[in-house]
Amino acid sequence: MAWGTWNPRQALAIDCAVAVLGALAVASVLGIEFLLCGNLPTGGDTASHLLYVWTFVHELLPRGYLTAWMPEVFGGFPFLSYYFPLPFVAIAGLAAVLPFAQAMKLGMFAAAMALPAAAWWGSVRLLGMPRRVAIWGVLGILPFLWQEQHSIWGGNLLSTLAGEFAYGYGALFAVLTLCAWQRAIATERHWWLVAAVLEVATGASHGFALLVTGFATTAYLFDAPRFLRNLRLLVLGHGLAFLLLGGWLWPMMEMHALTVPNDAFFEVRQWRELLPAGMEPVVGGGLFAAMVLLASALLPGAGHRFAQSGTDALRHVAFFAVSTMLAAVGFLAAGLVGLANIRFFPFVWLLGGLACGWLWGYACMHVAQALPAAIRWGWHVLGLAAAVAFIGHVAVGIAVAPDWGLWNHSGLEAKPQWNRLSTLFPAMSGPPDGPRLLFEHDPANHDLGSTRVLEALPMFLGGRPVLEGLYMESALLGPAIYQLQSEVSRHPSSPLARFPSASMDLELAAEHMRFLYANDVLVRHPETVSAFAASPLFTPVTSAAPFHVFRVRDFHTHLVDLVDHGDQVLRWESRRRWMENAFAWFRSRSRFARELPVFHDGVPPTLATAAPDARIHDIRLDRHRIAWKTHAVGSAHLLRVAWHPRWQLATRGELFLAGPGLMLVVPQEASVVLEYGHTPIGIAGMVGTALGLAGLAWAIFAQRRQRVQHAPQPCLAPSGYWPRGWVAMLWPLLLVVLGVTLHVHNPERLYAKAWVAMRAQQFQQAADVFDKAFALRRGDAKQEEALFWAAKAAEQAGLPARAIKRYRLLVRDFHGYWLPESLYTLSTLEAQAGRTEQAIPLRHRLRQEYPHNRWTQRMEQELGQ
């Protein structure tokens, strides 16, 4: 039997062996025995995922819900309406046959363990590659999985251990989808399978995977002879996928404006950050193979030898290489479109590793074909030795993942401080509609298993809600909640780049806790414990050192309260930039005490005055229903639950968005009922899914009918894969031009360049570049930061008029971290310019809004001298 040819049974055995060995290679790093132990997993975001996976497996999916309202965290938020459901469905499927803890662990890592098999199956079964080429593609992605240079970018084992398991599912299906598209475009068959199964699975696994795979298919539009044919297939395939995802995707797109963009920029300080050590031999091997093939192509008779190779591997390499370039462009463009740049780059490693592995494998096969048969086996032995050496080189770099796997999978129950904390659970427990629990963020909580363990407390407290959770981007109350967290923490987490939080302030924290219906706070840091113990605003409840629970005194708020027009006036404002304006109001001492903003673009309703003895009673909170009875019909009722367009009044009245993202209800009946239903777009999405299923059935029927009526056609047209012709080269050239342009005009690159000038004391140049970064940056926090340093650089350059102009803009339009210092500096500059009348209101504002800030104290010391 010739090398590389096997009968179907042998081929299937080889395919299964590669899949099993690939899964074992991944699982062995994690510790198989701990993956199968019965303790609840922890570590990174996984600790917070516990609550959501548990709720999804035991309550939501059994009742037929794919998405649901989660009142347990963030004052309520739409769970899985802005995240990806397929990984949760996979875990639920495993939980049907395994204990929950084991199902969650295996489900989290199932995609990573299946990725080598997916690369193999996509190469061999979808693209028809020789197995001797495909195996190098599998080896090429192992460094991507095993690299330990990053733990939050996504895709590798450390990222999955940190809780990014949905990204792993996206990577898995992205590989299969791109392979399937390459085949579907070549054969014009089974395009519906790509859309119905693989692209839908990709989209339901992770959004960045869908973006990369979707835009990668744009390459097919540069196949000039088949432009219309390819356009038709792309419209049919992507259109069908869009319809099938409609029930989940369309509502997510609708609420995009109601989310906090996760566009935190990761600054690359050196090129090594983009090329982990394990990827070096992959890239080097790919480049060397390219040179070997190029040299071989220049030899006489090269065309005949390449034609005799019997493979289109080079075309697949080209397609995946261009897809790699697209992911790199996404990395550069992310900040301009409000996305996190680091989420794109793992696809550079994944798709680039596949392309380089295939290229190396093809070069090895090409050389083997040129060798005499007598020494060909020696060449194959050398190839085997190279593969073993490569695996050994990459495996040597695995140092952290086994320890992380042991820490995570040994579970919560194995953490001594968790057992200590659990003694407080009886005192902290409460009903789902009771007052919420606030907790301090402290890095020391890592000894619980993760600093995010406390976010899963509703699992252990009888459903009592806590303020913080994991999916903060889809939580309207997120900015206010993390502001409150910073007011009770020595080391706040401040995860929302666009809404920078403050520092410890127990006086303001007590007011904010009452407003957000939180009466207890769990603290740990010794300085924090001392501050709470000394504060007259809080009283101790229980403790088990190092954990202590304090309760706010004079807690008089309820889940639903009448708005007291005497102390807090309703202020009706436009919905434009409501989230930024609400955050500014929440941070402001004076405004928070005297007014409650309501964001509404229409005519405000006429409100009735409630009787002095008016009561609200029989309050009931369910996952999809809120009800109460009131004696104040026509008056404003503040419902301390996060607003969302799916919450609708089932009784007569009006519903408004108020405060930092709560609901204000003006009922016209004594009985008030709100239901978590569907918006018109949500209903349209469900109709779209039904139409997609009908379209899928039609496509399957039409293709089977065509197969019966016509003679069988070869599965693959000769040279039918992309790229074909010189026009195809325009796509990578366009990507190169776009990438260079984005790099040159990247606002973060400009911001870093400004700091280089700043450190060199070239202040005027720094001010100019900071101004450019300010104009290009997105998000209030980033713009405020650039504007502040533009003003500071101008001040240092001896240009007070220019500095004053920028400081004035900052104190007028921004409300973040740099505001106190800006108020202090601007008041000082105004006074130095002889404009005391301008300085006085700035000083008054600084005293009123930031009485304990160091810049306020500095101002008072200077004025007192």
> Above 70 in pLDDT, residue 263?
no
**585 vs 387, 512, 573, 598, CA distance in Å?**
61, 12, 12, 11
CA distance 766 to 561: 52
pLDDT at 724: 82
**C-alpha distances in Å from residue 262, one per residue of 460, 613, 680:** 30, 46, 27
- In one-letter notation, the amino acid at residue 571 is R
Q: Note the pLDDT of residue 746.
A: 83
- pLDDT band at residue 565, thresholds of 50, 70 and 90? low
Percent of the chain with pLDDT over 90: 73
| HEC secondary structure over 297-309 | HCCCCHHHHHHCC
Q: What is the pLDDT of residue 718?
A: 46
Mean pLDDT of 274-292: 92
pLDDT at residue 770 in the model? 96
Q: What is the pLDDT averaged over residues 323-342?
A: 89
Of the listed ranges 4-13, 195-204, 478-487, 632-641, the least confidently predicted one is 4-13
Q: Answer whether residue 309 shows pLDDT above 60.
A: no
Q: Which residues have a Cβ under 8 Å from the Cβ of 343 and sit 6 or more positions away?
A: 153, 154, 167, 208, 334
3-class DSSP state of 778: coil
Q: Which one-letter DSSP state was computed for residue 463?
A: T
Q: pLDDT by residue (tens digit) across 645-702?
A: 999 999 999 999 999 999 999 999 999 999 999 999 999 999 999 999 999 998 888 8
Mean pLDDT for 547-576 is 89
CA-based nearest residue to 501, from 513, 485, 490:
485
Neighbours of 677 (CB within 10 A): 14
Give 571-587 as a DSSP string: EEE-STTHHHHHHHHHH
3-state DSSP assignment of residue 569: strand
CA distances from residue 771 to 335, 337, 758 in whole angstroms, order as listed: 17, 20, 13
- The CA radius of gyration of the chain, in Å to the nearest whole number, is 30
CATH of 747-864, one of 3.90.25.10, 3.40.50.300, 1.25.40.10, 1.10.15.40: 1.25.40.10
Sign of the CA dihedral with 816 first, then 820, 823, and 825 last? negative
Give the model's confidence band at 815: pLDDT under 50 very low, under 70 low, under 90 confident, else very high: confident
Residue 116 is encoded by which pair of tokens? 């080598």
Q: What span, in angstroms and rounded, lies between the C-alpha atoms of 790 and 806?
A: 7
> Of the ranges 293-302, 394-403, 847-856, which is most confident?
394-403
Q: Is the peptide bond before 546 cis (omega within 30 degrees of 0)?
A: yes
Q: What is the pLDDT of residues 699-730, one digit of tens each?
A: 888 877 776 665 544 444 445 788 888 889 99
**Which two structure tokens, joined as six digits, stand for 565?**
């027009």
Name residue 595's beta-bridge partners.
569
Whether 630 contacts 614, CB under 8 Å = yes
* Whole-angstrom distance, CA of residue 772 vs CA of residue 766: 10
Do strands 518-523 and 547-552 pair parallel, antiparallel, or not at all (unpaired)?
antiparallel
pLDDT tens for residues 143-172? Answer: 999 999 999 899 999 999 999 999 999 999
pLDDT at 261 over 80: no
- Please give the Cα distance from 258 to 688 (Å, whole number): 23
H helices of 401-498, in order, are: 401-410, 416-422, 425-428, 478-487
- Selection from 655, 656, 559 nearest residue 598 by Cα: 656
Q: Using alpha carbons only, give the angle 607, 613, 616 rounded to the nearest 5 degrees.
A: 70
Q: What is the bridge-based pairing of β-strands 436-439 and 77-79?
A: unpaired
pLDDT digits (tens, 9 = 90+) for 732-782: 999 999 999 988 888 888 898 999 999 999 999 999 999 999 998 877 888
- Residues in a beta bridge with 550: 521, 540
Question: What would the mean pLDDT of 837-861 be, rounded to a whole number?
Answer: 91
pTM, to two decimals: 0.91
What is the pLDDT, as a whole number, of residue 717?
A: 46
CA distance 583 to 816: 9
Q: Residue 300 has what pLDDT?
A: 66
pLDDT of residue 161: 95
| Domain boundaries along the sequence of the chain | 8-30+81-402, 425-552, 560-676, 747-864
**For residue 302, what pLDDT band results from cuts at 50, 70 and 90?**
low
Q: Both tokens of residue 459?
A: 């699992």
Model confidence band, residue 310 (pLDDT cutoffs 50, 70, 90): very low
* CB distance 23 to 114 below 8 Å: yes
DSSP bridge partners of 676: 647
Percent of the chain scoring above 70 in pLDDT:
96
The pLDDT-based confidence of 635 (bands split at 50, 70, 90) is very high
Beta bridge partners of 561: 638
